[in-house]
Amino acid sequence: MRRLLLAVCVAFISIAGAAQQAFAGGTPYAYGTDFYPPSSSNWGGFYFGAHLGGTWGSSTAHDVGGTSILYDSWSFSPSGVVAGATLGYNWQNGPVILGVEGDLGNLGLAGSGGYYVPFGYDASTSTDANFYMTLRGRLGVLMNGWLFYFTGGYIGADTSVSVLEACNNIFCGTPVVSASTSGFRNGWTIGGGLETTLQGAWTAKVEYLYYDLGSVNLTTPPGGAIGANTWNVETDGSIVRVGINYRFNGIRFGQ
C-alpha cells in the first residue's frame, strides 16, 4: 500500500509538470512568490475539498471451469455511500481549464447475489470495496461562471470477493464450500461534471464517474458432493457525488 501511495504522488507531480510545460511553451515551471486573490474568473492553482455521494454497480460471476453440471452466470448490484477528500491543481488559459485531481476515501460498495436451481444448485457471490483512490486529468471550459469538464484516469479500491456453494446436483448433501480473495484492485474511470463559484475561494461541484475494477478468479475446493469450480467475478459501477472545494493560490506553477 505504501508503494502504491508513493506511485500516486509521483504520478501527480509528473502530470503537473507536463501540463505546466504545455501551457508555458516548454519553460520549466517555478514556484511563484506572489499571492493571487481568488475570484470567480481565477481558477488557477491548488485546491482542496471533500465529496459525498452514492455508488451503484454490477458484479457478474461466471463459472469458467470445474465439475459443475450446470453453466452458471449471474449478476447482482452492490451499492453504497461514497465519501472522501480531494486534492487538485488547475492551469487556466482564458476560458480553458486543464487540471489534475486525486481522491482518497471510502467507496462503500457492498452487495451479494446468487444462482439457484430447485433441488439442483445453490451458489452466491458477494463483493465489498472500501478504501479507494483516483488520479485523473480534467479538461473543461468556463461559461458564465460555470466550469463544464470531462475527467478520466486511474481508480483503485481495496476489494473483497467471495463465492459460496451449497449444492451441485440433485443428490448433493449438506456441505458448503467457499472461496474468497481480498486485495487492492486497479482499474480506470471516466466521467464529467460541472463546478461553480460559491463565494470567494469556495466552489461547489456535482460529478458523475463510471469505473471498472476488472475481474478476479476464485476456485472453490471440492467437498462432499460438490466438486471444485473456478469463478470469474467482474466489477464495475457508477458514482454520483457532490463536492465542495477551496482554492488556495499562494503557490502556483509558473503562472
What tens digit of pLDDT does each residue of 119-151 get? 556 777 889 999 999 999 999 999 988 999 999
pLDDT of residue 226: 66
Percent of the chain with pLDDT over 70: 69
CA distance 129 to 182: 9
pLDDT of residue 73: 73
pLDDT of residue 61: 81
User: What confidence category does residue 236 fall into, taking pLDDT thresholds of 50, 70 and 90?
Assistant: very high
Task: Determine the average pLDDT of the residues in 47-51.
Answer: 96
pLDDT of residue 24: 46
User: What confidence category does residue 228 fall into, taking pLDDT thresholds of 50, 70 and 90?
Assistant: confident
CA distance 209 to 13: 23
- Dihedral angle at the C-alpha atoms of 17, 23, 27, 32, nearest 10 degrees? -70
pLDDT of residue 123: 75
User: What confidence category does residue 168 fall into, taking pLDDT thresholds of 50, 70 and 90?
Assistant: low
pLDDT of residue 141: 95
Could you report the per-residue pLDDT of 10-38, keeping only the tens digit for each? 444 444 444 444 444 443 333 333 333 44
CA distance 101 to 35: 22
Q: Bridge-partner residues for 177, per DSSP?
A: 165
pLDDT of residue 220: 79
pLDDT of residue 18: 42
pLDDT of residue 152: 96
Q: Bridge-partner residues for 80, per DSSP?
A: 55
Residue-range domains of the chain with CATH: 2-248 (2.40.160.20)
CA distance 96 to 93: 5
Task: Determine the average pLDDT of the residues in 154-181.
Answer: 77
Residue holding cell 451479494?
Answer: 112
Residue 170: pLDDT over 80? no
Percent of the chain with pLDDT over 90: 45
**Which residue would you say has higher pLDDT here, 124 or 239?**
239
**Which residue would you say has higher pLDDT here, 39 or 217?**
217
